Amino acid sequence: MLNRELPYMNAYGTIDISDATTVEEALEFAGMDWEVNPSKIFDETGKEIPGFKANIREDTGDTLGIVSNQYQIVQNSEALDFVNELPKEGDFKFDRAGVFRGGKSIWVMGTLPKVNILGDDISNNVVFVNSHDGSSGVKVMMTPIRLICSNMINFATRNANRIWSAKHTSRITTKLEEARYTLQLANNYIEALNEEADVLASKKITDSEIEAIIDKMFPIDYMHDTPRKINNIILFKNNFFSCYNEDDIKKFKGSAWGAINAMADLIDHGDPKRMTKHYYDNHWNKLINGHSVVDAFYKAVRD
């Protein structure tokens, strides 16, 4: 059974920030205008551990990460300050925001003008992520969604970056440069996705070829695999073909574009094998970073 809500709707802490006109307002509306402060850390004897510090979330007192003393904390408002330049340079609007793992990282999503690919309206979304656990700096990720089915079609194309790092700076001129760079890369990705859609739509693929690809991605060893694993793979394959036969795929069926959209449909909206407390949070994080199954399937059908 597929849940046709947009992929981010159930992510933990997701807040509508569409009324925001600045990053500061977006963070305030989302309850993410807290700061992160450094704190010394000590061993069990009370002795300070040299060379390291804890990043502490100011409003809750939670530890977001243990980092080296060289790590520079960049507050959410500082990290995303360049986003304030986007509405001045293009038709950018704030949309949603949320947190991962209690604030270890936060995300803000905005929309650029809607595009049309092969007759389908595509919501042209871009997500900005700032981390406080030492895992990464500010990342920008393209997350376009095919509106007819709410599928995210953000696989890694061959000719354009889908994810890139943003630089933090307090200089006004560089903020503007970063905003223009973001818009340029965003446009490059959408153009590459449009071109790739044409290529994939013209590439024919049979059901048996698709089945062979899935079998290669998820091989079954009937002698050693557990019945549960075997049943899960069989169910995955059956669910894929159910998605492939959905009405929104019909005009593309028999093509690589239809196949990749069916896989995105299944990965985005399929029921989890096991529902955990942070399932939607973790799932959304995987989706915006590029889901490994979708990327692997795209590469296989493209090659």
Distance between CA atoms of 171 and 3, rounded to whole angstroms?
44
Does residue 62 belong to any structural domain of this protein? yes
Mean pLDDT of 233-246: 96
In a domain, 88, yes or no: yes
Please state the rounded mean pLDDT for residues 19-32. 96
Give the pLDDT band of residue 11 (cuts 50, 70, 90): confident
Q: What mean pLDDT do residues 50-64 have? A: 96
Question: Mind listing the pLDDT tens digit for each residue in 93-122?
Answer: 999 999 998 999 999 999 999 999 999 999
Residue 68 structural domain: 1-39+49-303
44 domain residue, yes or no? no
Query: Strands 138-142 and 151-152, how do they pair?
Result: unpaired
In a domain, 15, yes or no: yes
122-177 pLDDT, tens digit each: 999 999 999 999 888 899 999 999 999 999 999 888 889 999 998 766 665 688 89
Determine the angle formed by the axes of helices 172-202 and 256-269, rounding to 10 degrees. 120
Domain count, the chain: 1
The verdict on residue 134 lying in a domain is yes
Q: What percent of the chain has pLDDT over 70?
A: 97
pLDDT value at residue 156: 83
Residue 161 CA to residue 164 CA, distance in Å, equals 7
Q: Quick check: 140 and 182 in contact, CB under 8 A? A: yes
The confidence band for 2, taking pLDDT boundaries of 50, 70 and 90, is low
Q: What is the pTM of this model?
A: 0.92
- The pLDDT score that the predictor gives to residue 170 is 63
Asked whether 139 and 163 are in contact (CB, 8 A), the reply is: yes
Let me know if residue 186 belongs to a domain.
yes
Sign of CA dihedral 243, 247, 250, 251: negative
pLDDT at 28 exceeding the cut of 60: yes
